[in-house]
Amino acid sequence: MSLHLELLNPEQLAAVTLPDEHALILAGAGSGKTRVLTTRIAWLVKSGRITPANILAVTFTNKAAREMLIRVTSMLPANPRGLWIGTFHGLCNRMLRAHHRDAGLPQAFQILDSQDQLAAVKRLARSMNVDEDRFSPRDIQYFINGNKEEGVRAGDVPIADENTKRLAELYAAYDEQCQREGVVDFPEMLLRSYELLKRNEILRAHYGQRFRHVLIDEFQDTNRLQYRWLKLFRTKESCFFAVGDDDQSIYTFRGANVGNMAEFEREFAIKRVVRLEQNYRSHGNILDAANALIANNRNRLGKNLWTSTGAGELVRVFEGESDMDEARWLVEEVRSLSRDGTSLSNMAVLYRSNAQSRVLEHALFSQGISYRVYGGLRFFERAEIKHALAYLRLVAQPDDDNSFLRVANFPPRGLGARTIEQLQDTAKKNQASLFKVAEGKSAVFKKLIEDLQTETRGLPLAEIVGIVVEKSGLKEHYKTEREGADRIENLDELVNAAATFNDDSREVESGEEVDPLTAFLTHAALEAGEHQAGEGADALQLMTVHSAKGLEFDVVFLSGLEEGLFPHEQSANERDGLEEERRLAYVAITRARNRLYLSHAQTRMLHGQTRYNIPSRFLEEIPQNLMKWLTPRFSKQKAFTPDFSRQTVSSLPKKSQAREVGGWRVGQNVVHPKFGSGVIIDAEGHGNDARVQVNFGAAGVKWLAVAMAKLQAA
């Protein structure tokens, strides 16, 4: 019930109690960002000058939004009404449902997730005879979303060449298709909502007046459209409070624009940028390592984290001979920490890409250590759940062709590709949905949907879902399948989820209430990740660095620190790709409270091939005096230079058979007088002709004649 302002440090207090003016808060990792944001909201309300309804707080994830809501409400005496805290998409959804007519949408519009969108694009591409070699559905989807996120409609795409012209046509056709079917994809939600407010002066004035205080979390992750959307709420009286950390910007690959921070500073004439640099999370050595690493980035607003807790332990570094070796060591380490009293859920293993989890899982499983992998297949994304949702969507909105195609012949009911094709032709001719033109063979399916509609009308949500799961034949179908038991369990779980579902966003302010089924389907699309199993159990946490953002652990293992993996090889082709990789490493390191492990392996199975990787440059960028090697090997490789501008990683060519020539073995570490240290990645010939291919990192990859080159074993 209290704000506990006395517990804030001077900078935090300054941020919380800023007068009514625009503000930019540079909040470093672990600096109490969420606390400042939530206390600010509570402080504003308690001041009595405004009500909760005057506040708009925007976050990126549902998790962050929920956390914020909980913390704010705990600081206020009564449950605040009219307080808008949510994700960009959640808030846009709320607005679009409330003003669906003005936005040109049916009230029960359905939301396409990325998968659904891709399916819709594929279907469109086929109906328009697109050469998939020239334009893959992925590319088209990327083009559409990229433009939408810049606020550019199909008609406004600048036509530079034939390709763009064609893509713009497809974009236009795609939007028409969505409109016809009453569906909206993720970027469309933002753009629609943006256009709605932009065009409708009355609405804009209404919301602008209402939201006197606009607070934005993770501002560095906003894209251009999101920023423009936010600016629509700006009035003479309004105050914007943006919190962000440019060093933690790790989503530029999907359109986030860090430049928004500088833009905001300029456009809102920010007088004072408040820097939160005191870190309450990590020990000194860990923090120093993070600071040293990020100092290698040139594009920064500048910030240096410090802590008043001691230096703590050194950062531990391990080199494995192979990924399996690395995993075995890691499991042993986890086991002994666990024995010494650190709970498993307080330890996390982080990696750059999901593919790396497999080896770890294998090792953990065989040693009987419980673990939990984040970011795998989410509940609402499972095939059987998607199928059930498709039936439900058709009940709510039969013109949804995406859903129609998904389940028209699932479970199989004799509607083959031919029948569907004919149906699609008729639909195209009549500019109507598949459902409307279904006849003959497909009439049976149409009848099924219609029966479901009449049968479920007016029933409670859980019963609707139960009936649909049963009568669609899904359950029956999975009974005959070998691994169907899990799927049936999931379908039951879906009914459960429906039973416990209560939606607070249905409390609308403009009269019309959204029907429960649509609300549930919206929840499934927008909050797909919220429904996760095994949340409570004590288990080791496995996740990518990306999904670790915002979290913290006593012990963090950062594994696979190898050139090509982390930094990822693809990042070399992107503008400022390496800097983003470095920020990613920075995020990873700053997750650790007490102990940090960094590890890498000499060989690793990737894409079914063994790769020989050299240690990541990030290991070189951390001052040696902060680290403690658990294996001697790495410390021997003195010839490292910090410059790895050229090719640094290679995989073993497919056809290579020779593993060993003249005493040199593939995978072996070597030192060359001129090129420094490297690793043998291939070998061929024998005797005097024997040659080895060596990856020297900075000096590149070279073929060397064994007889000539003065190679030394490292």
Partner DNA sequence: TACTTTGTCCTTTTT
Partner DNA sequence: GGACAAAGTA
What DSSP state is assigned to residue 526? H
Q: For 165-186, give the secondary structure using H, E and C.
A: HHHHHHHHHHHHHHHHHCEEEH
Query: Does 382 participate in binding DNA (rule CB under 7 A)?
Result: no
Query: Does 139 participate in binding DNA (rule CB under 7 A)?
Result: no
Stretch that binds DNA, among 313-321, 447-455, 539-547, 628-636 (CB under 7 A): 539-547
Query: Does 87 participate in binding DNA (rule CB under 7 A)?
Result: yes
Phi, psi of 103 (to 5 degrees): -85, -5
Query: Residue 222 or 285: which CB sits closer to DNA?
Result: 222
We find the least distance from the C-beta atom of residue 500 to DNA, in angstroms, to be 19
- 479 is known as an active-site residue: no
Residues with Cβ within 8 Å of residue 709, at least 6 apart in sequence: 672
DSSP symbols for 324-371? HHHHHHHHHHHHHHHHTT--GGGEEEEESSGGGHHHHHHHHHHTT--E
Q: Please choose, from the candidates 405, 379, 392, 380, the residue with its C-alpha nearest in 3D space to the C-alpha of residue 120.
A: 405
- 591 is known as an active-site residue: yes
We find the least distance from the C-beta atom of residue 655 to DNA, in angstroms, to be 15
Q: Which helix (H) or strand (E) holds 443?
A: helix 443-456
Q: Please choose, from the candidates 590, 418, 611, the residue with its C-alpha nearest in 3D space to the C-alpha of residue 29.
A: 590
Query: Does 282 participate in binding DNA (rule CB under 7 A)?
Result: no
We find the least distance from the C-beta atom of residue 138 to DNA, in angstroms, to be 8
Give the Cα-Cα-Cα angle 250, 224, 37 (nearest 5 degrees): 65
We find the least distance from the C-beta atom of residue 30 to DNA, in angstroms, to be 20
Q: Where are the alpha helices (DSSP H) in 598-664?
A: 617-621, 633-636
Query: Does 526 participate in binding DNA (rule CB under 7 A)?
Result: yes
Q: Please choose, from the candidates 313, 252, 249, 245, the residue with its C-alpha nearest in 3D space to the C-alpha of residue 279.
A: 245
Q: Which helix (H) or strand (E) holds 710?
A: none
Query: Does 114 participate in binding DNA (rule CB under 7 A)?
Result: yes
We find the least distance from the C-beta atom of residue 132 to DNA, in angstroms, to be 7
Query: Does 603 participate in binding DNA (rule CB under 7 A)?
Result: no
Question: Active-site residue among 141, 220, 222, 248?
Answer: 248
Residues with Cβ within 8 Å of residue 248, at least 6 apart in sequence: 29, 220, 549, 583, 586, 587
- 486 is known as an active-site residue: no
Q: How many residues bind DNA (CB under 7 A)?
A: 46
CA distances from 156 to 21, 121, 197, 434 (A): 36, 20, 19, 30
Query: Does 61 participate in binding DNA (rule CB under 7 A)?
Result: yes
Query: Residue 75 or 388: which CB sits closer to DNA?
Result: 388
Query: Does 544 participate in binding DNA (rule CB under 7 A)?
Result: yes
With tokens 């959804």, the residue in question is 93
Residues 145-204 that bind DNA (CB under 7 A): 186
Question: Active-site residue among 475, 591, 595, 691?
Answer: 591
| Radius of gyration for the chain, computed over Cα atoms and rounded to the nearest angstrom | 28
Beta bridge partners of 215: 57, 241
Query: Residue 134 or 418: which CB sits closer to DNA?
Result: 418
- 195 is known as an active-site residue: no
Give the Cα-Cα-Cα angle 419, 423, 428 (nearest 5 degrees): 150
- 569 is known as an active-site residue: no
Stretch that binds DNA, among 498-506, 524-532, 619-627, 670-678 (CB under 7 A): 524-532
Question: Active-site residue among 11, 12, 33, 97?
Answer: 33
- 271 is known as an active-site residue: no
Say how far apart CA 373 and CA 383 lie, in whole Å.
Answer: 19
Binding to DNA by CB under 7 A, coded x per residue (else -) over 331-360, reads: ---------------------xxxx--x--
Stretch that binds DNA, among 328-336, 522-530, 639-647, 658-666 (CB under 7 A): 522-530
Stretch that binds DNA, among 205-213, 327-335, 526-534, 629-637 (CB under 7 A): 526-534
DSSP symbols for 365-411? HHTT--EEE-SSS-GGGSHHHHHHHHHHHHHH-TT-HHHHHHHTTSS
Binding to DNA by CB under 7 A, coded x per residue (else -) over 232-271, reads: -------------------x-xx-----------------
**Residue 178 and residue 188 in contact, taking contact as beta carbons nearer than 8 Å:** yes
We find the least distance from the C-beta atom of residue 252 to DNA, in angstroms, to be 9
Q: Which of 200, 296, 345, 409 binds DNA (CB under 7 A)?
A: 409
Say how far apart CA 164 and CA 146 lie, in whole Å.
Answer: 13
Query: Does 416 participate in binding DNA (rule CB under 7 A)?
Result: yes
Stretch that binds DNA, among 46-54, 305-313, 399-407, 414-422 (CB under 7 A): 414-422
We find the least distance from the C-beta atom of residue 649 to DNA, in angstroms, to be 14
What DSSP state is assigned to residue 562? B
Stretch that binds DNA, among 18-26, 84-92, 170-178, 428-436 (CB under 7 A): 84-92
We find the least distance from the C-beta atom of residue 112 to DNA, in angstroms, to be 10
Q: Which helix (H) or strand (E) holds 629?
A: strand 627-629
Query: Residue 22 or 352: which CB sits closer to DNA?
Result: 352
Q: Please choose, from the candidates 200, 171, 201, 205, the residue with its C-alpha nearest in 3D space to the C-alpha of residue 188.
A: 171
Stretch that binds DNA, among 5-13, 271-279, 321-329, 408-416 (CB under 7 A): 408-416
393's tokens:
């969507």
We find the least distance from the C-beta atom of residue 702 to DNA, in angstroms, to be 26
Stretch that binds DNA, among 325-333, 406-414, 639-647, 660-668 (CB under 7 A): 406-414
Binding to DNA by CB under 7 A, coded x per residue (else -) over 559-588, reads: ---------x-xx--x--x-----------
Query: Does 653 participate in binding DNA (rule CB under 7 A)?
Result: no
Q: Which of 605, 639, 658, 714 binds DNA (CB under 7 A)?
A: 605
List Cβ<8 Å contacts ≥24 apart for 100-103: 102/196, 102/200, 102/203, 103/192, 103/193, 103/195, 103/196
We find the least distance from the C-beta atom of residue 94 to DNA, in angstroms, to be 11
Q: Where are the beta strands (DSSP E) in 522-625?
A: 540-544, 553-558, 592-606, 609-612
Say how far apart CA 337 and CA 339 lie, in whole Å.
Answer: 5
We find the least distance from the C-beta atom of residue 154 to DNA, in angstroms, to be 20
Would you tell me which residues interact with DNA (CB under 7 A)?
Answer: 60-63, 87-90, 113-114, 186, 251, 253-254, 352-355, 358, 374-375, 409, 412-419, 526-529, 543-544, 546-547, 568, 570-571, 574, 577, 605, 607-608
Residues annotated as part of the active site: 33-34, 217-218, 248, 591
